[in-house]
Amino acid sequence: MTIAMSTMTTGANLHGTINPTPWELMESVQRFFGLTGEYHLIGRLSGRNLSAWMQFRGYNSQNALLSAVTTLNNQVGEAGTVTYTVGTDVSTFAGCIFMGFEPEEDPWVDASGVNGWQIKGRLKWRQVKG
């Protein structure tokens, strides 16, 4: 199971499936003093957010772990097609911009010594409607 986009990849890190939000509808609502009701301008679908949880693990030190997170986040703004592969099943999301990895917890070390330093968070993309 892998998530990749251009040079960005999840590699051997554990991660979940890509969760897209509904497409956003461009809408403007206007109200005017002294008048009853409101005026709606409805446009087309514009974009949506994609995200997946990911866990960095197996690092020998906290600095090595944070360096890996920084390396991934240096790719913020990269644009392309996100590819999600599970076995022979491939899903693609075209027109995406990588928005980064957002940690959901502080880095911690596995006391058993098996998994090393680790951190869990969310990978985020913005998909533009084409």
pLDDT of residue 16: 92
Please give the model's pTM, rounded to 2 decimal places.
0.85
pLDDT of residue 113: 80
> For the chain, what is the domain count?
1
Q: How far is CA 2 from CA 18, 89, 91, 128, in A?
A: 11, 11, 11, 22
What range defines the domain where residue 22 resides? 2-32+39-128
Q: What is the pLDDT of residues 59-88, one digit of tens each?
A: 999 999 999 999 999 999 999 999 999 889
| Cβ within 8 Å of residue 78, ≥6 positions away | 5, 6, 7, 8, 97, 98
- Residue scoring higher pLDDT (12 or 59): 59
Closest CA to 75 of 2, 5, 1: 5
Q: What is the CATH number of the domain that holds 75?
A: 2.40.30
Count CB neighbours of 50 within 10 A.
Answer: 21
